[in-house]
């Protein structure tokens, strides 16, 4: 249940409820039984369990997501995928007819072969140096991969892991042990981090050894000539790649705009793809709520496009820098959805309604809405004393649960409070302060 953060709105709700209750009570009390009203118009202070939440809205997004466009114009020769296909980084999704493009791009394949041969010939003049260059490149990539992996383990809260346990179970042949393995995702374990740190240290040492060996041998072929030859290879490869749509990461094809024989232009969208296993909601939270939100808070998400579906996620990012939106200061919050979503199709860009639980359910005191009164000093209730008298107790109202309102003040569970009736001269609280 959500706290009503806006005091004026909450007071209006309480005021309307009080007015309605007063009319109801007044209509039920006739002159004959008006004398019994004081004995009946009382209620107990009760304890209810309530969780504090923050509501927001945003859109469903995936990370990574890519809109893949043609880098040159021409005629589509082949489309290798369709919507729904799973692809891997580097896969060719669609291709152009080389002859349908410019002469420079059409000859890119031949240029690539020539550039690669020239680079190989240059390096062949010093086999040791060539091998040193290759080793350096490979070890640098291994070192970078190890560094990236350690960073991933330290920061990602959904690291794939497995856990194997030896389980004793009964069979027709008696009790037997069986290994059970489960897969799950969560923060990296200490052992995983230590292993990754050790691997990074080893890769760094190997990379530094390779760099020293490369430096010793670089006086063979002119390093500048080698870089120039490599640049020509890279340029030719880029030209060849412009004839194709290539997947930049592992993911799912969401849409394909082309088919064989279509004429396309440079910059024209061809394929949308995303990693649908990593979905999140980007939402804006009001400045009055942002201090209550913490990383890891659980959130329930519903989509306007799929009524009735409830998704579970957790707060993954909180931008501490606010921005003014329509005159209100808002803070960007990212909710990462759990991956256990079955085979349900989730449309990207759909409006998402988010309820973030910022405090676990706990016991709170509550009174009927009709017990709350309001004057220039604020909200209060009349606490009934054992001798039949009443005493004013100042309270602060919170969330409304049915016909009850959560309150804080000098009250205890089981205390009795006076309900407001029309005959008492009750005036609904003025949400703008004081009574008018």
3-state SS record for 324-366: EECCEEEEEEEEEECCCCCCCCCCCCCEEEEEEEEEEEEEEEE
Task: Provide the pLDDT for residue 220.
Answer: 63
For residue 102, tell me if it sits in a domain: yes
202 plus 283 within the same structural domain: no
The answer to whether 292 touches 326, Cβ cutoff 8 Å, is no
Given a cut of 50, whether residue 3 has pLDDT beyond it is no
For residue 92, tell me if it sits in a domain: yes
The answer to whether 366 touches 401, Cβ cutoff 8 Å, is yes
Task: Provide the pLDDT for residue 288.
Answer: 84
Q: Which two tokens stand for residue 392?
A: 């004013």
Q: Where are the beta strands (DSSP E) in 208-268?
A: 244-246, 251-256, 263-264
Q: At 126, is the pLDDT very low, low, confident or very high (cuts 50, 70, 90)?
A: low
198 plus 317 within the same structural domain: no
125 plus 84 within the same structural domain: yes
Q: At 19, is the pLDDT very low, low, confident or very high (cuts 50, 70, 90)?
A: very low
Q: At 194, is the pLDDT very low, low, confident or very high (cuts 50, 70, 90)?
A: very high
Residue 300's domain is classified under what CATH number?
2.40.30.170
166 plus 46 within the same structural domain: no
Least confident span in 30-34, 208-212, 387-391: 30-34
Those residues with Cβ within 8 angstroms of residue 91's Cβ, 6 or more apart along the chain or in another chain: 80, 81, 246, 247
Given a cut of 80, whether residue 152 has pLDDT beyond it is yes
296 plus 257 within the same structural domain: no
Compute the radius of gyration of the chain from its Cα atoms.
Answer: 34
Those residues with Cβ within 8 angstroms of residue 332's Cβ, 6 or more apart along the chain or in another chain: 282, 283, 284, 285, 317, 318, 319, 323
Average pLDDT over residues 31-40: 40
Q: At 235, is the pLDDT very low, low, confident or very high (cuts 50, 70, 90)?
A: confident
Q: At 179, is the pLDDT very low, low, confident or very high (cuts 50, 70, 90)?
A: confident
In total, how many domains does the chain have?
Answer: 3
Given a cut of 80, whether residue 356 has pLDDT beyond it is yes
Task: Provide the pLDDT for residue 142.
Answer: 93
Average pLDDT over residues 399-422: 85
234 plus 300 within the same structural domain: no
Compute CA distances 421 → 17, 30, 32, 33, 46, whole Å: 12, 13, 16, 13, 20
50 plus 60 within the same structural domain: no
Those residues with Cβ within 8 angstroms of residue 70's Cβ, 6 or more apart along the chain or in another chain: 96, 242, 245, 264, 265, 266, 267, 268, 270
Given a cut of 70, whether residue 15 has pLDDT beyond it is no
For residue 172, tell me if it sits in a domain: yes
Least confident span in 135-139, 160-164, 387-391: 160-164
101 plus 204 within the same structural domain: yes
- Residue at which a domain ends, from 223, 242, 271: 271
The percent of residues above 90 in pLDDT, for the chain, comes to: 32
Given a cut of 60, whether residue 159 has pLDDT beyond it is yes
For residue 433, tell me if it sits in a domain: no
420 plus 366 within the same structural domain: yes
Residue 46's domain is classified under what CATH number?
2.40.420.20
For residue 431, tell me if it sits in a domain: no
Task: Provide the pLDDT for residue 164.
Answer: 82
Q: What is the Cα 197 distance to its own chain's centre?
A: 28
Torsion angle of the four alpha carbons 108, 111, 116, 121, in this order, in degrees rounded to the nearest 10:
180
Task: Provide the pLDDT for residue 99.
Answer: 80
**Helix, strand, coil percent values for the chain (each to nearest 5):** 30, 40, 30
Task: Provide the pLDDT for residue 221.
Answer: 64
87 plus 169 within the same structural domain: yes
Q: At 18, is the pLDDT very low, low, confident or very high (cuts 50, 70, 90)?
A: very low
Q: Which residues of 295-312 are buried (b: 16+ CB within 10 A; e: fewer)?
A: eebbbebbbeeeeeeebe
Task: Provide the pLDDT for residue 326.
Answer: 85
86 plus 227 within the same structural domain: yes
What single-letter DSSP state applies at residue 233?
Answer: H
What single-letter DSSP state applies at residue 102?
Answer: -
- Residue at which a domain ends, from 359, 383, 402: 359
SS3 282: strand
Q: At 166, is the pLDDT very low, low, confident or very high (cuts 50, 70, 90)?
A: confident
Average pLDDT over residues 165-175: 78
Q: Return the closest-CA partner of residue 433 out of 5, 4, 3, 11.
A: 11
Given a cut of 70, whether residue 421 has pLDDT beyond it is no
For residue 434, tell me if it sits in a domain: no
Given a cut of 70, whether residue 203 has pLDDT beyond it is yes
Residue 130: count of CB within 10 angstroms of its CB: 19
Q: At 6, is the pLDDT very low, low, confident or very high (cuts 50, 70, 90)?
A: very low
Average pLDDT over residues 412-428: 70
Average pLDDT over residues 287-309: 89
91-95, 238-242, 423-427 — most confident range? 91-95
Q: Where does residue 257 rank: exposed (0-12), middle (13-18), buried (19+ CB within 10 A)?
A: middle
pLDDT one-digit tens code per residue, 254-280: 999 999 999 998 888 899 999 888 899
Domain that holds residue 154: 66-271
248 plus 293 within the same structural domain: no
The percent of residues above 70 in pLDDT, for the chain, comes to: 84
Least confident span in 306-310, 311-315, 320-324, 428-432: 428-432
Task: Provide the pLDDT for residue 146.
Answer: 92
- Residue at which a domain ends, from 328, 344, 359: 359
For residue 215, tell me if it sits in a domain: yes
The answer to whether 273 touches 251, Cβ cutoff 8 Å, is yes
Task: Provide the pLDDT for residue 256.
Answer: 93
Given a cut of 60, whether residue 371 has pLDDT beyond it is yes
The answer to whether 343 touches 328, Cβ cutoff 8 Å, is no
Q: Is this prediction's pTM over 0.75?
A: no
For residue 405, tell me if it sits in a domain: yes
């Amino acid at each position: 249940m959500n706290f009503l953060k806006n005091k004026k709105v909450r007071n209006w709700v309480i005021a309307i409820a009080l007015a309605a209750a007063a009319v109801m009570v007044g209509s039920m009390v006739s002159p004959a039984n008006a004398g019994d009203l004081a004995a009946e118009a009382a209620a107990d202070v009760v304890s209810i369990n309530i969780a504090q939440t923050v509501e927001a809205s945003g859109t469903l997004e995936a990370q990574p997501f890519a809109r893949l466009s043609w880098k040159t114009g021409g005629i589509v020769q082949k489309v290798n995928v369709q919507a729904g296909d799973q692809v891997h980084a580097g896969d060719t999704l669609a291709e152009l007819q080389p002859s349908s493009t410019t002469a420079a791009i059409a000859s890119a394949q031949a240029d690539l072969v020539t550039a690669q041969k020239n680079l190989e010939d240059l390096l062949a003049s010093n086999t040791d140096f060539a091998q040193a260059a290759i080793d350096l490149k490979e070890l640098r990539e291994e070192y970078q991969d190890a560094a990236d992996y350690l960073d991933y383990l330290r920061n990602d809260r959904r690291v794939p892991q497995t856990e194997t346990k030896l389980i004793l179970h009964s069979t027709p042949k008696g009790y037997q042990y069986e290994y059970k393995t489960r897969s799950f995702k969560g923060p990296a374990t200490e052992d995983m981090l230590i292993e990754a740190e050790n691997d990074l240290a080893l890769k760094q040492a190997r990379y530094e050894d390779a760099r020293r060996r490369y430096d010793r041998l670089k006086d063979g072929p002119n390093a500048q000539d080698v870089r120039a030859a490599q640049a020509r290879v890279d340029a030719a490869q880029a030209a060849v790649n412009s004839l194709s749509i290539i997947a930049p990461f592992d993911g799912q094809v969401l849409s394909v705009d082309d088919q064989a024989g279509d004429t396309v232009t440079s910059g024209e969208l061809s394929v949308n793809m995303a990693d649908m296993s990593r979905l999140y909601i980007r939402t804006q939270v009001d400045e009055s709520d942002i201090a209550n939100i913490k990383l890891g808070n659980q959130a329930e998400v519903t989509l306007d496009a799929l009524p009735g579906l409830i998704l579970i996620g957790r707060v993954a990012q909180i931008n501490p820098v606010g921005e003014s939106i329509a005159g209100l200061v808002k803070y960007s919050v990212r909710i990462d959805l759990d991956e256990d979503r079955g085979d349900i199709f989730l449309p990207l860009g759909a409006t998402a309604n988010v309820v973030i639980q910022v405090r676990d359910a706990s016991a709170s005191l509550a009174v009927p809405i009709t017990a709350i009164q309001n004057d220039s000093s604020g909200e209060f209730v009349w606490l009934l004393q054992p001798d039949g008298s009443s005493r004013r107790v100042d309270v602060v109202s919170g969330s409304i649960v049915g016909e009850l309102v959560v309150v804080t003040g000098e009250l205890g569970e089981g205390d009795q409070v006076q309900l407001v009736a029309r005959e008492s001269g009750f005036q609904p609280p003025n949400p703008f302060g004081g009574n008018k």
